[in-house]
Amino acid sequence: MNTAQGKAVLPLDAKENVSLIGIDWGSTGLRIFLIGQNGQLIDSREAASGISVMQGGQAAYVQVLQELAGDWLMSWPDAPLLACGMVGSKHGWQEVSYVQSPADARDIAINILSMDAGDLRSVPSRLGIVPGLLYRGDAPDVMRGEETQIVGALQGQPDWASQSCIVMPGTHSKWASIVDGKVHAFATHMTGELFAVLKQHSVLGRLMPLEHGGIDDASFIAGLDAARKMMGQGLSHQLFSVRTLGLMGDMSPGGLADYLSGLLIANELLVGLHWRSERGLAHAPLIVIGDASLCARYVLAFSRLGVKPDAVLANTAPAGLWHLAVTAGMLQP
């Protein structure tokens, strides 16, 4: 198992105050958190053991958790376990039904599924799994894990909870409208997955180097600007320019992937900002949550469109897990 153990966020003596072991188990990775009495993150660890590679049912999930954090599980046998993400999907450890939007933290918390977690530690283990959200717009849309990050981001931010738009870049980017503390609506964009598929399995990738070097900001910006200029011609036409720029020698092979990234992200942002305006949130706070390097790329893309996010946040899942655990009665605030 490819495991990376992070450094402690707080001094080691703070670990005596652990109140929750939080788990964010997605499609491609697993992150586990030691969370303190006031919701502060004490320590974290991660592994490339996402749901997509899990095989063997409950025993496999138990084994992975023990390998990554068996010492934590034994050191704090009374700390509740709460997990979010694809662990609760149809292909996860245990499926948990979606909660339909509009929904707030209480709606999510009261639908947490409590299940037998098996022989994780020396005492009988119960695991809570957070439900995902379902939004029925023109077509159904779903999220798992992002709802917990939203809950975390809104803590201590009454203005954001009142009204905001939250953007979470990733393999499947999410745009969520927040009104009166509830996730009213959201839209998923398969931006990251489209990039990977087009680069690896389409004609566009044939002129690109096998190994992607450092980020080429100039090519990325060229893609952003091209998408805006050619918006009326459609994405499928824009995408073919990745190939023709390479064929004509107008762009070096090393810049084509970043140009493609710029095209895809710009299309997401242009549509997303229109969606934001349609929901009456054009002047509401715009919050970006996610991986620092990817968020930086989105902030750059926003700037080319004359938009400045009000805040850029790192992983807010630990704060969300703690708040949901308190709301569900698993912890005392």
Specify whether 244 is located in the same domain as 223.
yes
- Tell me how far CA of residue 230 lies from CA of 76, 158, 190, 233, in angstroms: 57, 39, 20, 5
Evaluate whether residue 173 is within a structural domain.
no
Residues 86-98, buried b or exposed e (16+ Cβ, 10 A)?
Answer: bbbbeebbbebeb
Q: What is the pLDDT of residue 211?
A: 76
Give the domain range for residue 102: 3-145+317-327
Q: Is 44 inside any structural domain?
A: yes
Is residue 161 included in any domain, yes or no?
A: no
Q: What is the CATH number of the domain that holds 292?
A: 3.30.420.310
Using CA atoms, how far residue 82 sits from 35, 113, 297, 300, in Å, is 11, 10, 31, 35
Whole-number average pLDDT of the chain: 91
User: Contact, 113 vs 83, CB < 8 A?
Assistant: no
Tell me the two tokens of residue 201.
Answer: 């399995």
Answer yes or no: do 49 and 101 share one domain. Answer: yes
In Å, how far are 56, 232, 241, 264 from 226, measured between CA atoms?
47, 11, 9, 11
Across 140-150, average pLDDT: 97
Q: If you ran DSSP here, which 8-state letter would residue 102 be given? A: S
* Domain assignment present for 70: yes
Distance (Å, rounded) from C-alpha 91 to C-alpha 172? 17
Residue 247 belongs to some domain of the structure? yes
Whether 291 and 275 map to the same domain: the answer is yes
Q: pLDDT at residue 12 above 60?
A: no
**Least confident window among 57-61, 150-154, 168-172, 321-325:** 57-61
Together in a domain, 34 and 87: yes
Q: Are residues 215 and 110 in the same domain?
A: no
What is the C-alpha separation between 166 and 178, in angstroms, rounded?
8
Q: What percent of the chain has pLDDT over 70?
A: 93
Taking only the tens place, the pLDDT of each residue in 185-221 is 999 999 999 999 999 999 999 999 887 667 889 999 9
| Domain harbouring 103, CATH code | 3.30.420.300
Chain segment 248-270, per-residue pLDDT in tens: 999 999 999 999 999 999 999 99
- Same domain, yes or no: 139 and 256: no
Same domain (yes/no): 139, 37: yes
Q: Are residues 105 and 237 in the same domain?
A: no
**Residue 118 covered by a domain:** yes
Task: Check whether residue 212 and residue 104 sit in a common domain.
Answer: no
Residues 217 and 243 in one domain: yes
How many domains does the chain contain in total? Answer: 2
CA 318 to each of CA 3, 95, 117, 148, 331: distance values in angstroms, whole numbers, following the listed order: 19, 21, 20, 8, 14
Asked whether residue 181 is domain-assigned, the answer is no
Strand order in the sheet with 99-100: 99-100, 133-136, 140-143
Pair (84, 204) in one structural domain: no
